[in-house]
Amino acid sequence: MKSPQEKTATPSLADMDASLLPKQRDKRFDGYLKTAGIILATISFVLPFVMYYDVLNARPRPETSGVEVRDPLNRENQKVVRETRGKAASTLPNSGEELDPMTTATTSEQTADRLARIDDASKQPFPGKAKFLVREVVGGLVMIEDETGYWFVEKGSPLPDGSTLVAIQRGTTPGSWNIKTSDGDIIDRTF
């Protein structure tokens, strides 16, 4: 018989087979990882939508002061005010010339009398362009004055003479401004 010391020193065959077999993995940990990954993916998917809807309601509402802010370009109740500061501006185009009231539409009948009138009408001068004055330039807006009153225009806006505002430029002297129109005209600021 073997002594108890020998029994512990030499492993039995059953013990040797158990130590050679791989250990069984605990699959609960894999399940926990899968669950955590699914939850994280779901939160990542839903979070942008929640934030978008929450931002709409979470914006701080400023306290109202009771003062109504008016739009300076609102012309619903505009009153025409003309101030020339002692300088009379001639805004009537070519007031000394007479214009021919003849209708210039074409008809199929071309008689000699009609051809003579058409020839006379072709020598008539065109009416002058509407005139306006540049009064002030502030923050990219130009205040102009024509016969109907004062107007604010910006780059690309139509002008009273039918052209559009192309550029706002500084003049040659300090504090002077001029504007360039699509017709190539350069109009200086009038004080």
Output 160 or 190, whichever has higher pLDDT: 160
Percent of the chain with pLDDT over 70: 58
CB 154, CB 140: distance < 8 Å: yes
Residue whose pair of structure tokens reads 């250990």 in the numeric block: 23
What is the DSSP secondary structure assignment for residue 3, as one 8-state letter?
A: -
pLDDT at 19 over 60: yes
Distance CA 61, CA 97 (A): 63
Instruction: Classify strands 149-153 and 141-146 as parallel, antiparallel or unpaired.
Output: antiparallel
Is it the case that residue 64 has pLDDT exceeding 80?
no
Amino acid at 44: S
Cα torsion 151, 154, 155, 156 to 10°: value is -60
If you average pLDDT over each of 6-20, 21-35, 78-92, 174-188, which comes out highest?
174-188
Please tell me which of 3-7, 92-96, 160-164 the model is most confident about, judged by mean pLDDT: 160-164
What percent of the chain has a predicted confidence (pLDDT) above 90? 12
Q: How confident is the model at residue 12 (pLDDT cuts 50, 70, 90)?
A: low
> Model-level pTM?
0.36
Query: Model confidence at 2, in pLDDT bands (50, 70, 90)?
Result: low
Please give the radius of gyration of the chain, using alpha carbons only, rounded to the nearest integer. Answer: 45
Position 38 scores a pLDDT of: 96
Res. 27 pLDDT band, cuts 50 70 90: confident
| pLDDT above 80: residue 157 | yes
Q: What pLDDT shows up at residue 29?
A: 87
In which band, very low, low, confident or very high, does the pLDDT at 40 lie, cut at 50, 70 and 90? very high
CA–CA separation, 57 and 48 (whole Å): 15
Residue 26: what pLDDT? Answer: 77
